[in-house]
């Protein structure tokens, strides 16, 4: 099969599409024919070596951990899925990634794909949905009528988080460029702050219950200023400064997600009921993966970047 492999850390120049053997499966696993796989910061941060202390790997490695496809083989212990099922998921971060024609997975890593969407749309969902759901509802325990600030609202995570927060009745504020205003309003954002013109902390004061921070660094530190006493910031990019959070009288937590097929079942229901829609910004052919990675690294993509594998 064809797979996007790296044999050492580096820039996009270390990525190659190679012919390799199909991944091995045991009685508890399935072999999936991958139709689409999405590009995430996780991919190029692992490739660059930024995460080598958190996620040690053995080379060579196939990148990609966000996909949709069809079950073509099942182990005898697999109960929930059968050959021919359309599925999607966020697999464990192993050397067996999803930027490939086939991937081997376990049952807990995947869910049945919503019937009303395409493979490309389904591949855009797992990481963004699991991250947004666990950040907003499991860690922050966001409630109706609370005020939530979601940074980078037009990105892959932000565009999902806005919809989920609005679905439960929160007041949704987001930072984005002015050209994305109508798009973000269509997703349910109540207030859009143009980060190119304004400092969000000057506008908001200490009025926010929850911050979802996918940017980190200076934006994270400034976000402490807008949280109410005992408010919470959930970071998914850089580790928060706990001491600074204590000084501001707020909480700050870091989220690192795991596969969650059970949650994806719930996401499928939300999509089928019209309460959530996938946001695919751009689709690339597998052979154009360097362009897809470059767009992701630029930070200028709207919605998810997806690779069509086959």
> Which SS3 state, helix, strand or coil, does residue 273 take?
coil
Residue 291 near residue 143, CB atoms below 8 Å? no
pLDDT digits (tens, 9 = 90+) for 258-308: 999 999 999 999 999 999 999 999 999 999 999 999 999 998 889 999 999
Residues 111 and 194 in one domain: no
Contacts of 105 (CB under 8 A, 6+ apart): 29, 30, 32, 89, 91
Find the mean pLDDT for residues 94-105. 96
pLDDT digits (tens, 9 = 90+) for 124-173: 999 999 999 999 999 999 999 999 999 999 999 999 999 999 999 999 99
- Both 224 and 183 in one domain: the answer is yes
- Whole-number pLDDT of residue 310: 83
Domain of 64, in residue numbers: 2-125+278-308
Q: Is residue 75 domain-shared with residue 132, that is, in the same domain?
A: no
Task: Say yes or no: 206 and 297 in one domain.
Answer: no
Reply yes or no on whether the pLDDT at 54 is more than 90.
no
How many of the other CB atoms lie within 10 Å of CB of 186? 10
Provide the mean pLDDT of the chain: 96
- Residue pair 151/215 in contact by the 8 Å Cβ criterion: yes
User: Which domain CATH number covers 294?
Assistant: 3.90.180.10
**The pLDDT of residue 112:** 98
Give the pLDDT confidence score for residue 300 in this predicted structure. 85
Last residue of a domain, one of 254, 269, 288: 254
pLDDT at position 197 is 96
Residue 53 and residue 104 share a domain: yes
pLDDT for 291 equals 95
pLDDT at 181: 96
Tell whether 170 and 206 lie within a shared domain. yes
Query: Is the entire prediction scored with pTM above 0.95?
Result: yes
Number of independent structural domains in the chain: 2
Asked if pLDDT for residue 48 goes beyond 90, the answer is yes
Asked if the structure places residue 67 within a domain, the reply is yes
pLDDT in tens, 188-236: 999 999 999 999 999 999 999 999 999 999 999 999 999 999 999 999 9
Q: Is the pLDDT of residue 70 over 90?
A: yes
In angstroms and rounded to an integer, the radius of gyration of the C-alpha atoms of the chain is: 19
pLDDT > 90 fraction of the chain, expressed in percent and rounded:
95
Mean pLDDT across 239-246:
93
In the chain, % of residues over pLDDT 70: 100
In order of 81, 141, 156, 201, 252, the CA distances from 132 in angstroms are 26, 12, 10, 22, 16
Q: What is the pLDDT of residue 85?
A: 98
């Amino acid at each position: 099969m064809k797979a996007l492999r790296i044999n050492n850390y580096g820039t996009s120049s270390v990525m190659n599409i190679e012919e390799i053997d199909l991944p091995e499966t045991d009685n508890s696993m399935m072999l999936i024919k991958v139709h689409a796989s999405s590009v995430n910061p996780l991919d190029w941060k692992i490739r660059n070596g930024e995460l080598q202390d958190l996620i040690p790997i053995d080379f060579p490695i196939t990148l990609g951990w966000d996909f949709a496809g069809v079950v073509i083989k099942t182990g005898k212990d697999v109960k929930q899925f059968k050959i021919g099922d359309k599925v999607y998921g966020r697999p464990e971060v192993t050397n067996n990634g999803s930027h490939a024609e086939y991937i081997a997975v376990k049952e807990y890593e995947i869910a049945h794909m919503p019937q009303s969407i395409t493979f490309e749309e389904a591949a855009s969902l797992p990481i963004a949905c699991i991250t947004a759901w666990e950040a907003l509802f499991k860690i922050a325990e966001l409630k109706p009528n609370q005020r939530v600030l979601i940074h980078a609202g037009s990105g892959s995570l932000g565009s999902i988080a806005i919809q989920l927060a609005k679905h439960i009745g929160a007041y949704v504020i987001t930072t984005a460029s002015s050209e994305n205003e109508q798009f973000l309003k269509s997703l349910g954002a109540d207030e859009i702050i143009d980060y190119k013109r304004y400092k969000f902390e000057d506008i908001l004061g200490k009025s926010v219950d929850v911050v979802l921070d996918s940017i980190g660094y200076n934006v994270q530190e400034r976000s402490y200023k807008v949280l109410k006493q005992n408010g919470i910031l959930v970071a998914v990019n850089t580790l928060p400064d706990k001491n600074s959070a204590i000084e501001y009288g707020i909480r700050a937590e870091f989220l690192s997600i795991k596969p969650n097929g059970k949650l994806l079942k719930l996401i499928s229901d939300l999509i089928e009921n019209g309460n959530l829609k996938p946001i695919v910004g751009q689709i690339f052919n597998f052979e154009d993966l360097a362009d897809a990675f470059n767009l992701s690294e630029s930070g200028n993509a709207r919605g998810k970047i997806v690779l069509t594998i086959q």
